[in-house]
Amino acid sequence: GESVGLHLPTLSVQEGDNSIINCAYSNSASDYFIWYKQESGKGPQFIIDIRSNMDKRQGQRVTVLLNKTVKHLSLQIAATQPGDSAVYFCAEKVNAGNMLTFGGGTRLMVKP
C-alpha cells in the first residue's frame, strides 16, 4: 500500500550546523503534511505544517519544503542545537479525512 517513508534513519550533525531531514511520500492525493518532533518518552510535538498548494513554509529556525513533482518533503533546521536531538516524523493527510499517516522517523543527533 502507499505509505510515507524516510530516507535516513539517523542523522548526526554538529551543533550550529544546519540539518536537513527528508521524507518521501507516495500518495499523490495527500493534501496536508506535518513534521513532528518526538523526544524520548514523550508524545509527538508539532513543528511545522504545509498544505499541498504551497511549496515552502518557514517557522522559527525551521523550513519545510514540499516538492509535489517528486513527492518529497524536507525539514530544514537552521543552527541546530543540542535540544533539537530527537526523532522527527513526517506525516500526511489524504483528502478530506483526518487520519494522519506517519513515516518511520529519522533520529537527529546533535554533537556539541
Partner 1 sequence: EPEVTQTPSHQVTQMGQEVILRCVPISNHLYFYWYRQILGQKVEFLVSFYNNEISEKSEIFDDQFSVERPDGSNFTLKIRSTKLEDSAMYFCASCLKAGGDTQYFGPGTRLTVL
Interface with partner 1 (CB under 8 A): 31-32, 34, 36, 41-46, 49, 51, 89, 91, 93, 96-105
Of 53 and 112, the one with the shorter C-beta distance to partner 1 is: 53
CA distance 88 to 77: 11
Of 60 and 112, the one with the shorter C-beta distance to partner 1 is: 60
Of 19 and 93, the one with the shorter C-beta distance to partner 1 is: 93
Place of cell 523526544: 39
H runs (alpha helix) in the chain: none
Hey, what's the cell of 59?
Answer: 517557522
